[in-house]
């Protein structure tokens, strides 16, 4: 059984707590360690590791604090170099090469974002549950079997973005960046349709844009498409 708590999601910070009942982990640390502690009622001593996808501050803000608190952090070599921090608590991982943290077996994979060496993570526990974590990517080239939980970015919808550009709320240059760095509702749907969702229990939509998304619409459309329980993080 997997438990998921969203501590923060969006451009102001991202951090998610997950546990299989034995090994708690943090996915991202894009908020202060103090805020992580508060969100978890100060139950942080058993966190076994922190996975960081890339170097943007809303995903790695607390890396130094977390390392100084004695938590082990896992990221790509490119992300480590871009952050520019040296600490014995940081371990670099390689795309498509599994590693283990406690009861989790973790497979990093490459994603598409405008940074050095971004990653997503596929996590599997001893019970066979599989959790996919993918954020800040406009495309995922891989397909996955037997997923039970998805934490996946759904940043914007193309029609809302086009309306905001037409009305002058969003500059046109923003469109070019979004379509090459973030997962749209339309691309999320295509990704879901091309994957095995037969065992999926929950889908968590992450990192929704403040101005280019619509929570209830996104939730409804993904529920109708998949027939699964959908949460907005």
Please give the chain's pLDDT, 233 residues, in tens: 899 999 999 989 999 999 999 999 999 999 999 999 999 999 999 999 999 999 999 999 999 999 999 999 999 999 999 999 889 999 999 999 999 999 999 999 999 887 889 999 999 999 999 999 999 998 899 999 999 999 999 999 999 998 998 898 888 877 777 777 889 999 999 999 999 999 999 999 999 999 999 999 999 999 999 999 999 99
- What's the start-to-end Cα distance of the chain, in Å? 19
CATH number for the domain that contains residue 137: 3.60.15.10
Phi/psi at 13 (nearest 5 deg)?
A: 155, 145
116: Cβ–Cβ under 8 A, 6 or more apart, which residues? 54, 55, 76, 78, 79, 81, 82
Domain extent at residue 56: 3-232
Distance CA 31, CA 213 (A): 22
Predicted model pTM: 0.95
> How many domains, in total, are found in the chain?
1
Which backbone phi and psi does 5 adopt, to 5 degrees? Answer: -130, 130
CA distances from 159 to 96, 156, 164, 166, 193 (A): 35, 9, 9, 10, 20
Q: Please give the structure tokens belonging to residue 221.
A: 């459309």
Contact partners, residue 108, CB within 8 Å, separation at least 6: 76, 93, 94, 95, 96, 97, 99, 119, 120, 121
């Amino acid at each position: 059984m997997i438990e998921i708590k969203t501590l923060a999601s969006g451009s102001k910070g991202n951090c998610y707590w997950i546990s299989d009942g034995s090994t708690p982990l943090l996915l991202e640390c894009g908020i202060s360690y103090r805020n992580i502690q508060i969100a978890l009622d100060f139950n942080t001593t058993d966190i076994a590791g922190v996975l960081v996808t890339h170097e943007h501050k809303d995903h790695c803000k607390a890396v130094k604090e977390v390392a100084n608190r004695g938590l082990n952090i896992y990221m790509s070599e490119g992300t480590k170099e871009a952050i520019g921090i040296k600490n014995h608590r940081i371990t670099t991982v390689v795309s498509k090469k599994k590693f283990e943290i406690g009861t989790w077996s973790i497979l990093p994979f490459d994603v598409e974002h405008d940074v050095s060496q971004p990653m997503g993570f596929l996590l599997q526990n001893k019970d066979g549950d599989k959790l996919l974590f993918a954020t800040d990517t406009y495309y995922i080239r891989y397909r996955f079997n037997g997923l039970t939980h998805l934490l996946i970015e759904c940043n914007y919808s193309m029609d809302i973005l086009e309306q905001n550009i037409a009305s002058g709320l969003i500059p046109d240059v923003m469109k070019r960046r979004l379509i090459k760095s973030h997962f749209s509702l339309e691309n999320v749907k295509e990704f879901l349709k091309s994957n095995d969702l037969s065992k999926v229990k929950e889908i968590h939509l992450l990192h929704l844009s403040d101005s280019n998304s619509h929570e209830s619409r996104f939730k409804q459309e993904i529920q109708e498409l998949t027939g699964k329980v959908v949460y907005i993080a």
